Amino acid sequence: MSVLRPLDKLPVPNVATILLVGTDEKQLEQLAEAMLKESKSFKIQIHLAPSLPLPSDSSHLRPRIDLIVFLFSLQSKKSFSSVEASLAHVDASFFLGKVCFLATGGRYPSGHSLPSGSQPLLATGQAEVVGR
């Protein structure tokens, strides 16, 4: 099990590889479909993972990852805990513009089940935090 590093492989011209990480497979698939529908002048490859680390036995086949999106629900401690545990398997240099957190379930604040100190924890990585 290895740490993901942003510059460990050569880039592929006109191709962006995005890794979506989260426990809700249905939401990951919806996000992937929405990203693929957008018009663009380059090709997007999207890979889904429930958590990190990724299996190391296939790392030689894995393309360079250009962006990691962590998707979690504000209403699920399991979802948040999975993302939190996955962060240990991402090199710190990825957090310089190559990581995004997408939070779902924010419409109903009374249903939030995250630990009270979660927002500062997410903000310390200086990654983008997007609420949905």
Dump pLDDT digits (tens) for 40-50: 999 999 999 99
- The answer to whether residue 131 scores a pLDDT higher than 90 is no
Q: Who wins on pLDDT, 132 or 28?
A: 28
pLDDT digits (tens, 9 = 90+) for 108-125: 666 666 666 665 555 555
pTM for this prediction: 0.83
| Helix (H) or strand (E) run with residue 37 in it | helix 25-37
Instruction: Please give the C-alpha separations between residue 97 and each of 1, 52, 101, 127, 128, in angstroms, as whole numbers.
Output: 24, 19, 11, 7, 8
**Per-residue confidence (pLDDT) for residue 74, from 0 to 100:** 85
